[in-house]
Amino acid sequence: MSFFDNLKDIYRKVSEVESAIYHNKQDYLEVYERNIQLEKEIEERTKELNLANKRMLTLQHIWDMMNASRPLQSVLETIVNNIQGELGYLHCNIIKKCEDEKGTYLTVLAQSNDDSIKRVDKLIKGPIQARKLIYSKDSVYAKAEEVRQILLTTDIGETLKSVIPEVPDETIEEVVEGSPSKSIITVPLFTRNTHFGWFNVFSSRKELTEGETDFLTIFAQQIEMAITIADLFEEVKSQAVSDSLTGLYNRRYFEEYLKKEVRRALRQKQPFSIIGLDLDHLKEINDKYGHAYGDLAIKTVANVLKKNARSIDTAARMGGEEFNVILPGVESEGAMVAAERMRKALEEEKLDTIGNITASIGVATFLEHSDNIEDILELTDQAMYQSKRNGRNQVTLAKPISETSWQEIAINTFTDILSRHNIPINPEISEELKSKLKNTQNEIPKEVLYSVADILTQTYNPLHHKGAIKSKVLLAVSLAKRFDLPKDDIDNLRIAMLLYDIGNLMLPQEILQKTTPLTEEERSHIKEHPIIAAREILQPISYIQDIIPIIEHHHENWDGSGYPSKMSKDEIPMTSQIILIVDAYFALTEPRAYRAELTPKQALEVIKQDAGKKWNNALVQEFISLIDHDI
């Protein structure tokens, strides 16, 4: 090959190399440019993911706080500080729409703690959160509420002026000019389909992106959920301690508070008094005017107590027409003055249709009349009842407990029964019960009696609910008071309620716990238990002879179809009638071997069906009224 041919060949190869290099260079440039583009996209996506992550974390914080049952104010303050700090907004707040006698106004419920708001507070000479803000129908807030949408406004000065018109224009201008905020994003808040207020975000941007709108919508929903949960929690909490009719505390709260007051009084050696109040003639009001007017009378008593009690006093509706007031640090003399003030204030109330109403009131003082709170409650009850027996509409100071109280009689009776060994009961259980009865000085006598009666009942009825005896006694006593029974009759009823079923101890267990229908012979055995209780077990005990007829006739029916004596109507002692209806109700609401327990409402329906047959119509009405108050 000639020199020129070699040169051409070399040139060709060089050209091929140059061409390859050129094309590779283009490829490299394209790859490089694509890499740069990808890096930019990755950077943008990373920013978006970081923002999304911050938003998710913020939402998670809200959810965690809601699950932690923190107070609403604390939750809302944390919310606004989280979104302000994590998402770069300049300031955030939650404004609530409120009503008073002058109309609608706004209040800042929570706000982020930042330099922006500190500067505004300084310029307007006072914290905006402490102000009552104006609600204008032309404001962005009213418009957002109306359309139920997120709105953005760049007119920050006008928005501020609409809620604080008293601030001079030059001050508003100074606020706006020195602020980095370019817009206010307003998000309306609704809870349970009712408008609550607004969530506001002060932004350094004039625009609102679609993604931001979506996030703020979700964020607002979480705020709404937090508010709803807090409202529901407060409702449930209020219902748990409050009486729905009067708004006063209920029995449950009263009893819990009383325990704390006893501890405080013993620790500080400082007495307190209890005022017990019973509305007079409620039954007559219900019968003559209807239960709506009876409720009006009860609510009137509650309003009088609220107006005349001190802020540190605790008033509660104990059930029906009975109320108690605890007066911390007040001795009997001061309590009598307070009770008379309440009595007089109630007497002076004039109600539509009914006219004037009155109440019978009793007073007892802890550490003065007794250092046993059960005795104090008993003494208050007795004094209140004495006011009623002496003509009503008066205040009576408690007297010392009589030498032989009903608790002592009941304790002696149980001890006597167990000591005679004439009932078939395990000797170990018998000795345990006698020991409990002997050592009542270390426990509340009534609680010991309820416990002993529960244990005895469970020996022949394993399905018996512990604590049911106490509930039966309290219900029976409340019912007896509605018929103004004398105190001695009520004390006898208490003892009878503890003993009326003791005859079941003598019946065969296979009959009492039988799961199939009873035969006629077995029914005859069951019907013997009142006679067994009255004559075989209780007759030998001389000091309870007044109790025996109550127990003997507690299965007599109003229409004469009961047993053992076929008594009817007013021949039947009222105390026996009360035991029958209370016993029937608890029997229906307890499980039995042959059936499941009924709900309280189902049990009342069964009782209603036998009104006028098994029991007195008036008794049924009062009983239903008592139970309805507690369910």
pLDDT in tens, 127-164: 888 888 999 888 999 999 999 999 999 999 999 999 99
- Say what the pLDDT of residue 328 is: 94
- Say what the pLDDT of residue 243 is: 87
Inform me whether the pLDDT recorded for 361 exceeds 90: yes
Within a domain: residue 523? Answer: yes
- Say what the pLDDT of residue 510 is: 61
Q: What amino acid positions are annotated as catalytic residues?
A: 321
Percent of the chain with pLDDT over 70: 78
User: Cα separation of 253 and 318, whole Å?
Assistant: 10
Contact of 316 with 420, CB cutoff 8 Å: no
Asked whether residue 168 falls in the same domain as residue 188, the answer is yes
Mean pLDDT of 446-462: 83
Within a domain: residue 244? Answer: no
Q: How confident is the model at residue 303 (pLDDT cuts 50, 70, 90)?
A: very high
- Say what the pLDDT of residue 31 is: 53
Average pLDDT of every residue of the chain: 82
- The position carrying tokens 């103004």 is 484
Q: How confident is the model at residue 475 (pLDDT cuts 50, 70, 90)?
A: very high
Q: How confident is the model at residue 12 (pLDDT cuts 50, 70, 90)?
A: low
- Say what the pLDDT of residue 464 is: 74
Within a domain: residue 532? Answer: yes
Asked whether residue 588 falls in the same domain as residue 470, the answer is yes
Within a domain: residue 245? Answer: no
Mean pLDDT of 301-307: 95
Residue at which a domain ends, from 13, 47, 68: 68
Paired sense of beta strands 395-397 and 359-366, if any: parallel
Mean pLDDT of 505-530: 64
Mean pLDDT of 174-202: 89
Inform me whether the pLDDT recorded for 122 exceeds 60: yes
Assign residue 618 the CATH number of its domain. Answer: 1.10.3210.10
- Say what the pLDDT of residue 11 is: 58
Residue at which a domain ends, from 343, 369, 397: 397
Q: Which residues pair with 92 in a beta bridge?
A: 201
Mean pLDDT of 352-363: 94
Within a domain: residue 391? Answer: yes
Contact of 494 with 408, CB cutoff 8 Å: no
- Say what the pLDDT of residue 150 is: 93
Angle made by CA atoms 390, 392, 394, in degrees to the nearest 5:
90
Assign residue 278 the CATH number of its domain. Answer: 3.30.70.270
- Say what the pLDDT of residue 170 is: 92
Q: What is the pLDDT of residues 219-250, one digit of tens each?
A: 788 788 777 777 766 665 555 688 889 999 99
Asked whether residue 373 falls in the same domain as residue 420, the answer is no
Inform me whether the pLDDT recorded for 410 exceeds 60: yes
Asked whether residue 499 falls in the same domain as residue 573, the answer is yes
- Say what the pLDDT of residue 68 is: 45
Assign residue 125 the CATH number of its domain. Answer: 3.30.450.40
Within a domain: residue 567? Answer: yes
Residue 444 tokens read as 């509340």
Backbone torsions φ then ψ of 311, nearest 5 degrees = -65, -25
Inform me whether the pLDDT recorded for 17 exceeds 80: no
Between 87 and 623, where is the model more confident?
623
Inform me whether the pLDDT recorded for 13 exceeds 70: no
Asked whether residue 256 falls in the same domain as residue 226, the answer is no
Contact of 404 with 423, CB cutoff 8 Å: no
Contact of 449 with 407, CB cutoff 8 Å: yes
Q: How confident is the model at residue 2 (pLDDT cuts 50, 70, 90)?
A: low
Percent of the chain with pLDDT over 90: 37
Asked whether residue 580 falls in the same domain as residue 448, the answer is yes
Q: Which of 105-119, 281-295, 588-602 has the weakest average pLDDT? A: 588-602
Q: How confident is the model at residue 66 (pLDDT cuts 50, 70, 90)?
A: very low
- Say what the pLDDT of residue 629 is: 63
- Say what the pLDDT of residue 447 is: 86
- Domain boundaries, position 310: 251-397
Asked whether residue 309 falls in the same domain as residue 332, the answer is yes
Inform me whether the pLDDT recorded for 63 exceeds 70: no
Asked whether residue 266 falls in the same domain as residue 337, the answer is yes
User: Cα separation of 447 and 466, whole Å?
Assistant: 12
Q: How confident is the model at residue 525 (pLDDT cuts 50, 70, 90)?
A: low
- Say what the pLDDT of residue 274 is: 97
Asked whether residue 230 falls in the same domain as residue 357, the answer is no
Asked whether residue 483 falls in the same domain as residue 621, the answer is yes
Helices (H) and strands (E) counted in the chain, each on its own, are 24, 13
Number of domains in the chain: 4
Contact of 479 with 626, CB cutoff 8 Å: yes
Mean pLDDT of 515-526: 67
SS3 annotation, 479-529: HHHHCCCCHHHHHHHHHHHHHCCHHHHHCCHHHHCCCCCCCHHHHHHHCCH
Q: What is the pLDDT of residues 309-355, one digit of tens each?
A: 988 999 999 988 999 999 999 999 999 999 999 999 999 999 989 99
Q: What is the pLDDT of residues 375-387, one digit of tens each?
A: 898 889 888 888 8
Contact of 332 with 237, CB cutoff 8 Å: no
Asked whether residue 85 falls in the same domain as residue 234, the answer is yes
Residue at which a domain ends, from 380, 397, 414: 397
Asked whether residue 413 falls in the same domain as residue 541, the answer is yes
